[in-house]
Structure 1
């Protein structure tokens, strides 16, 4: 199944997005509803809260008085952490139960208001953030929900700001226009990305590549890599493997095809098979069929073997190279990246070469090291630079 995390600030219209996704066929897990369920009257969660904070947090009917509890924990960090220690494990366990009950081909949307604040983004295949101007949110909270403006401002300030949410988002849905416009954006997301992503994930198939055009430099590439790396690291835990951003998108200011190259270092290539490959596939990075290698530098006989994975997500092409740590191919990828970062002249030459290679063969997957003689010359320059600077991987 495809796991989608949905979040947005209070008053952003997140509930409208969730409702539309349900209409389209998604299975919705509402974190707020789950949080109420695990502290319902008669539950172990409520009993533990009363034991921790006394019955002053109960209303006349014996249910949790959220306002009274909020008054206790809002300004007391220790009390808040005590409450979270009671509720968060129960919410996680109940959410896991609901996910396990969904069909294997389901698109499960977990509506979590504090997804970013509690660091849950890496646990999903995709994170969708609903973003709305603060002025619009305040208007909705005061005019439509009848909330006091000071209270509305306080609640907005207590949550992550837009910049922090965008950093965690694979998809940002802007909700500053009409409900119809929001529905159109959700429908397009469902049709173009979520449905094919789920199908690719279930079939363990890499999303078909684009045309391979060289794009302009995108300053968000490092941020996109960071999200991917966090997802990969979560999938491979408890193994603590080195993960690096490599290739042209790892070099600031360099134009490149819009494909994020990621390198995962394993002790040996035998460790790249079996459980590790399954975990990557389940996280949305299935193995690319066939045998993969890099050409040695300088050019010579033999091959530098590796494993290659891609992305099941049609909206974010990825080449994930699994190489043995300290192997020549692993070292070469890091050396090339760091030398190009340090040498603007060679960075410009590399860009021109990449453009020529793409124009000559636009549909070829450039997942290995190209055979152009420039790469051998650059390797020698990079090795000289490494010796002069004391560079190490």
Structure 2
């Protein structure tokens, strides 16, 4: 099962995306619909809302008067939080029931207007954000919902802004065009990413990245790492350390478009236990075989580790599980920080990468640490650490 979070500001067209995904075969769990159901006449939820806000929020028919309630809570953070304390636990419980009832091979899309605001992004395999220019949203709210312009502006202002939603988005669906264009975009996403991602998660198939090609520096790599790291922390539980390592962790460095992440574990036995299953369920299955970091040094040391990879065909990821304090763990952090601190070293490192890709592309990434340049760099990095007082 693949769990997808779908969100977007009021008037963005999120419902159109949800409808298209449902037509393609997704199981859509609509939080707005659930939110209405949990405060329907005769429910405990409605009774609690009336107790908190008085019967002023009831219509003549005894049902919730949403406009009256909205006038009380929008713009009043304390009132909004009182309402959320009543409705959100009920919505989450009902949504969990619907997800549990979905088929094992389903793509489950949770349509959650406040997904970003309440911090739910790490609980999904993928987050889709529908983004539309504010003037277009205002026009839609006026035309389609008959909403007063001032009220529409107030509703938009009460939600997360575009920048905050975009930071949470694994996929940004820009909906400034026609409905047909939006459908084409959603159809491509369904076919090329969501369906194979679901199959990979269900079958615990890790997509091993093909690394040799070097990509220009991508300023979004740190943000992509942050989203992945949040999922890993959520899956791992506890307070295990997560770090961005490898080439994409060094700003401005040309690198293979692969996000390397280091998860610090107390022992390899811990890595081999239930943690491996939790990571696989979160979309990071373990790669088979034995893995180690093996720099070309006189002591011929091998630094054992475990490696997982992403199941998402749209985002290559390698997740290295290394033991806290081990030589391989320390080396990954030291190399990253030394490269960040020294522009000349970055240039030399990049040339080594390019030479390896040019001469032996099939083994470029495997051969990087074994290249003689790294024997010298290991010594330089240790000297730099001693001089600067660096600690991992």
TM-score, reference length from structure 1: 0.96
1:25 and 2:20 correspond: no
Q: Which runs of 5+ in 1 are unaligned?
A: none
User: 1:274 — aligned with what?
Assistant: 273
**CA separation in 2, counterparts of 1:181 and 1:74?**
33
Indicate if the aligned counterparts of 2:295 and 2:375 stay in contact, CA closer than 8 A.
no
- The residue aligned with 1:120 is 120
Q: Does 1:106 align with 2:111?
A: no
Contact 2:296 2:370 in 1 (8 A): no
Matches within 5 A, 1:206-217: 206-210=206-210, 212-217=212-217
**1:264-287 deviation per Cα after TM superposition (whole angstroms, max 9, x unaligned):** 001111110121000100000000
Q: How many residues align?
A: 392
Q: Which runs of 4+ in 1 moved over 4 A?
A: none
Name the residue aligned to 1:81: 81
1:211-230 CA deviation, whole Å, 9 max, x = no partner? 63100000100000000001
- Is 1:356 aligned to 2:355, yes or no? yes
- Provide the rounded CA distance (Å) in 2 between the counterparts of 1:337 and 1:94: 45
Rounded Cα–Cα distance in structure 2 between residues aligned with 1:144 and 1:93: 31
Structure 1 window deviating more from structure 2 (323-332 vs 68-77): it is: 68-77
**Shift in Å, 1:160:** 1.3
Name the residue aligned to 2:159: 159
* Residue 114 of structure 1, CA deviation: 1.2
Q: Report the counterpart of residue 366 of structure 1 in structure 2.
A: 365
User: Is the aligned partner of 1:190 residue 2:190?
Assistant: yes
CA distance in 2, matches of 1:293, 1:130: 41
Mapped partners of 1:179, 1:161: distance in 2:
23
Which sits farther off after the overlay, 76-85 or 1-10?
Answer: 76-85
Residue in 1 that maps onto 2:218: 218
Q: Which secondary structure state, in structure 1, belongs to the residue aligned with residue 10 of structure 2? A: coil
Range with bigger deviation, 145-154 or 274-283: 145-154
Distance apart, 1:79 and its partner CA: 2.4
Q: Secondary structure at the match of 1:289?
A: coil
Equivalents in 2 of 1:361, 1:137: separation in Å? 52
SS of the equivalent of 1:72 reads helix
SS in 2 for 1:379: helix
Distance 1:111 1:214 in 2: 37
Give yes or no for contact 1:73–1:79 (8 Å, CA) kept in 2.
yes
Equivalent in the alignment of 1:304:
303
- In the alignment, which residue of structure 2 is the partner of 1:324? 323
Could you say what the CA RMSD is over the residues aligned between the two structures, in angstroms? 1.5
Q: Aligned in 2, Cα 1:20/1:210: closer, same or farther, shift over 3 Å?
A: farther
Show structure 2 runs of 5+ residues with no match.
Answer: none
- What is the match of residue 170 of structure 2? 170
Give the distance between the partners of 2:16 and 2:78, measured in 1 at CA: 35
Correspondence for 1:39? 39
1:143, 1:54 → 2: CA distance? 32
Q: TM-score normalised to the size of structure 2?
A: 0.97
Shift of 1:44: 1.4
Which residue of the partner structure matches residue 59 of structure 1?
59
Query: Which residue does the alignment assign to 1:228?
Result: 228
Cα separation, 1, equivalents of 2:362 and 2:187: 30
Q: Check whether the contact 2:353–2:368 (CA below 8 A) recurs between aligned residues.
A: no
| CA separation of 1:197 and 1:34: change in aligned 2, threshold 3 A | same
Q: CA deviation at 1:299?
A: 4.4
Contact 1:208 1:314 (8 Å CA) reproduced: no
CA distance in 2 between partners of 1:134 and 1:76 (Å): 22
**Which digits, 9 at most, give the CA deviation of each residue in 1:209-262, with x for residues without a partner?**
34631000001000000000011111112x110000000000000010000000
Q: CA 1:243/1:369 → structure 2, altered by over 3 Å: closer, same or farther?
A: farther
- Equivalent residue, structure 1, for 2:145: 145
Conserved 8 A contact 2:12-2:132: yes
Q: d(CA) in 2 for partners of 1:142 and 1:84? A: 26
CA contact under 8 A between 2:296 and 2:372: conserved in structure 1?
no
Please give the alpha-carbon distance, in whole angstroms, between the structure 1 residues aligned to 2:111 and 2:292.
42
Deviation at 1:41, TM superposition (A): 1.1
1:171-212 Cα offsets, whole Å, 9 max, x none, are 011111111111110011001100000000001011253463
Q: 1:92 to 1:313 in 2, by over 3 A?
A: same
**Structure 1 residues 57-66 or 377-386, which shifts more?**
57-66
* Residue 144 (structure 1) shift: 3.0
Contact preservation (8 Å) 1:319, 1:367: no
